Amino acid sequence: MTNILIVVVVILLVATLVQILRVSELLSEIKNKDVNEVTDKDNNTQGILFLIVGFGFLIFVIWQMVTWNHLLLPPASSVHGTQIDFLMKISMGLILVVFFVLSPILFYFLYKYRGKKSNKAYFFSHNNKLEVVWTVIPTILLTVLIIFGLKTWDKAMNVEVTESTTIIEVYGQQFNWTARYSGLDNNLGKANFKLVKGRNTLGVDMLDSNAADDKMAREVHLVIDQPVLLKFRSQDVIHSAFLPHFRVQMNCVPGMTTQFGFTPNKTTAQMKESEGEDFEYILLCNKICGASHYNMQMKFIVETQEEYDVWLASQESLETKLLTQK
């Protein structure tokens, strides 16, 4: 019934529009005027509209920046993330300046040079000096941004793995995450998808001597100021491990291992103090992976060494989990 009503309303609206148009066209025929010719009055109205709506848009942008600022991600909770945030501030500042210079120029020109039948435009087809200037300025600005960007990228991606780096595997599958700690030897045991069976959900090769002390977990605990190297694998389709608060993202690709190293520098408890009691570090999936893509998550907790040691000790090793409890 609703559908029929909608159809009827649409038909009536269209019919009304047709009639209005016919009337306006007939009227203009009587007045011997072309209804579709752009008059000076039109130019005036449209020019003023551009000024009003154009600047309205700029105000809307500023309003959004003010009103929604508190919704944006808090400052990074990792060492390299702080550098990324700095680069972001510089880049964002630069593009906002360019935006708030070029857009007003555009809208102002439209108003200022709105046409009149009696006016004539200025014939101005090129000016080499001007063109060189506005090629060189963006080139200089971009050179700075490129150099700055590449340095930040290089620092973020090429992390040195030392003795003190904790190695943790993050394993994605439709639609959950599992973590594996490398244990006392800080070496992950080898894994192969063909070995996935029963409780060995990650396909760890238990014959590998590095595997016995590995520990599986459903949440990831990290120690503040302690470098960590996440190694990513996927069981089925491409997932993307996204830790927005740490400025960390890396795809998990079946058939290969990817990695991302970083150093968290704020504990969950500290973040709860500044961001509210509900705050948690969270790992999301950021590559379309199927029906529950929107609900594929794992908690990350950053804590002190003591808290971490207690938690890790409470986790059972793969040896206990897979080999002894038959």
Partner 1 sequence: MSEHHKENFITKYVFTQDHKMIAKQFLITGMFMAVVGMLMSAIFRVQLANPGETSILYNLLPGAWLNDSGGLNPDKYLALVTMHGTILVFWVLTAGLSGTFANFLIPLQIGARDMASGFLNMLSYWFFFLATVVLLSSLFVETGPASGGWTIYPPLSALPQAIPGSGTGMTLWLISITLFVVGSLLGGLNYIVTILNLRTIGMTMQRLPLTVWALLITAILGVLSFPVLLSCGLLLIFDRSFGTSFYLSDIIINGEVLHNEGGSPILFEHLFWFLGHPEVYIILLPALGIVSEVIAVNSRKPIFGYKAMVGALLLIAFLSFIVWGHHMFMTGMNPFLGSVFTFTTLLIAIPSAVKVFNYLATLWRGNIRFTPAMLFAIGTVSAFITGGLTGIILGDSALDINVHDTYFVVGHFHIVMGLSAIYGMFAGVYHWFPKMYGRMMNKNLGYLHFWGTFICAYGVFFPMHFLGLAGLPRRYYSNSAFPMFDGLSDINELITFFALAGAIFQVFFLFNFFYSIFKGTKATQNPWKSNTLEWTTPVERIHGNWPGELPVVTRWAYDYSKPGADEDFILQTEPLKEGEIEH
Site for partner 1 in 245-264 (CB under 8 A): 245, 247-251, 253-256, 258-259
Kindly tell me which residue out of 176, 186, 187, 235 binds partner 1, with binding defined by CB under 8 A: 235
Sign, CA torsion 117/123/127/131: positive
- For partner 1, give the closer residue by CB, 259 or 270: 259
What's the closest the beta carbon of residue 309 comes to partner 1, in angstroms?
28
Kindly tell me which residue out of 59, 116, 207, 218 binds partner 1, with binding defined by CB under 8 A: 116
The side-by-side arrangement of strands in the sheet containing 228-234 is: 215-217, 176-181, 166-173, 228-234, 258-262
- Tell me the β-bridge partners of 59: none
Find, among 93, 90, 231, 200, the residue nearest to 149 by Cα: 90
Per-residue interface string for the shown chain with partner 1, residues 39-68, x marking contact by CB under 8 A: ---xx--xx-xx--xx--x--xx--x---x
Per-residue interface string for the shown chain with partner 1, residues 133-152, x marking contact by CB under 8 A: -xx--xx--x--xx--xx-x
Q: Contact at 8 Å (CB) between 28 and 35?
A: yes
Is residue 160 involved in binding partner 1 (CB under 8 A)? no
- For partner 1, give the closer residue by CB, 37 or 306: 37
- Residue 103 phi, psi (nearest 5): -60, -50
Is residue 99 involved in binding partner 1 (CB under 8 A)? yes
With contacts defined by CB under 8 A, name the span among 18-26, 163-171, 210-218, 302-310 that binds partner 1: 18-26
Question: CB under 8 Å to 166, separation ≥6 — which residues?
Answer: 181, 182, 186, 222, 223, 226, 227, 228, 229
Residues 213-232 that bind partner 1 (CB under 8 A): 232
Kindly tell me which residue out of 126, 160, 325, 326 binds partner 1, with binding defined by CB under 8 A: 126
Token pair in block for residue 248: 């960390």
One-character DSSP codes across 288-322 = --SGGGGG-EEEEEEE-HHHHHHHHHHSPBHIIII
Kindly tell me which residue out of 8, 9, 17, 323 binds partner 1, with binding defined by CB under 8 A: 17
Is residue 156 involved in binding partner 1 (CB under 8 A)? yes
Is residue 324 involved in binding partner 1 (CB under 8 A)? no
- For partner 1, give the closer residue by CB, 124 or 162: 124
Q: Kindly calculate the radius of gyration of the chain based on its CA atoms and give it in whole angstroms.
A: 31
- For partner 1, give the closer residue by CB, 25 or 316: 25
Q: Contact at 8 Å (CB) between 244 and 75?
A: no
Is residue 286 involved in binding partner 1 (CB under 8 A)? yes
Is residue 26 involved in binding partner 1 (CB under 8 A)? no
- Residue 142 phi, psi (nearest 5): -70, -35
Kindly tell me which residue out of 9, 95, 207, 310 binds partner 1, with binding defined by CB under 8 A: 95
Rounded to 10 degrees, the C-alpha dihedral 36/39/44/50 comes to 30
Is residue 176 involved in binding partner 1 (CB under 8 A)? no
What's the closest the beta carbon of residue 17 comes to partner 1, in angstroms?
6
